Amino acid sequence: MYDPCKPRKMKKSILLFSALSCFFAACQQKTSEQKIDSLATSPDTAITATKTCYSYIYKKDTISLSFTKAGNAVAGELLYNLFEKDKNSGTIAGTIQGDTIIADYTFNSEGRSSVRQVAFLRKGDQLLEGYGPVTEKDDKMVFTDLKGLKYMDAITLKEIPCK
């Protein structure tokens, strides 16, 4: 026999289950920087996490980069605010290879999310951004030849105290 209360109970159960699923999923999501922080503080690893910040300011152009380093892994935030260009900001996640940071930069620009590979060469307390030919691979722009990148002194990010 049809019980008109059962559909309501089922709807309530589905809504409750959906709400709890969303809550637990949100609690489990971590940023790439939080993942590195948790790795660095894990009792079974001897890796120490260090946060470093860099900035470039010239006339109306600003670039800022802050990242946490744990072992050879890096994760952080990168912002480009260049005069008469679209502002974009997002996160980086990658590795340090010798004196070079190679990372994926996930950012938003013009209301659209994109991913592109970035490279920074460390020179003392400065970072020089790498430039070179790129190609699209797996929905992101990547350098065609990491060894052939050019690092120009025109835009030099200087190390600054982190806020």
pLDDT digits (tens, 9 = 90+) for 92-109: 999 999 999 999 999 987
Could you tell me if residue 127 is inside a domain? yes
Could you tell me if residue 116 is inside a domain? yes
Could you tell me if residue 65 is inside a domain? yes
Side chain identity at residue 54, one-letter code:
Y
3-state DSSP assignment of residue 20: helix
Could you tell me if residue 88 is inside a domain? yes
Given a cut of 70, is residue 82 above it in pLDDT?
A: yes
- Percent of the chain with pLDDT strictly greater than 90: 58
3-state DSSP assignment of residue 69: strand
Could you tell me if residue 119 is inside a domain? yes
Could you tell me if residue 151 is inside a domain? yes
- Name 39's Cβ contacts closer than 8 Å, sequence gap at least 6: 45, 47, 49, 70, 71, 73
Is the model more confident about 26 or about 152? 152
Could you tell me if residue 107 is inside a domain? yes
Number of domains in the chain: 1
Tally of CB atoms within 10 A around 65: 26
Could you tell me if residue 69 is inside a domain? yes
Containing structural domain, residue 126: 34-160
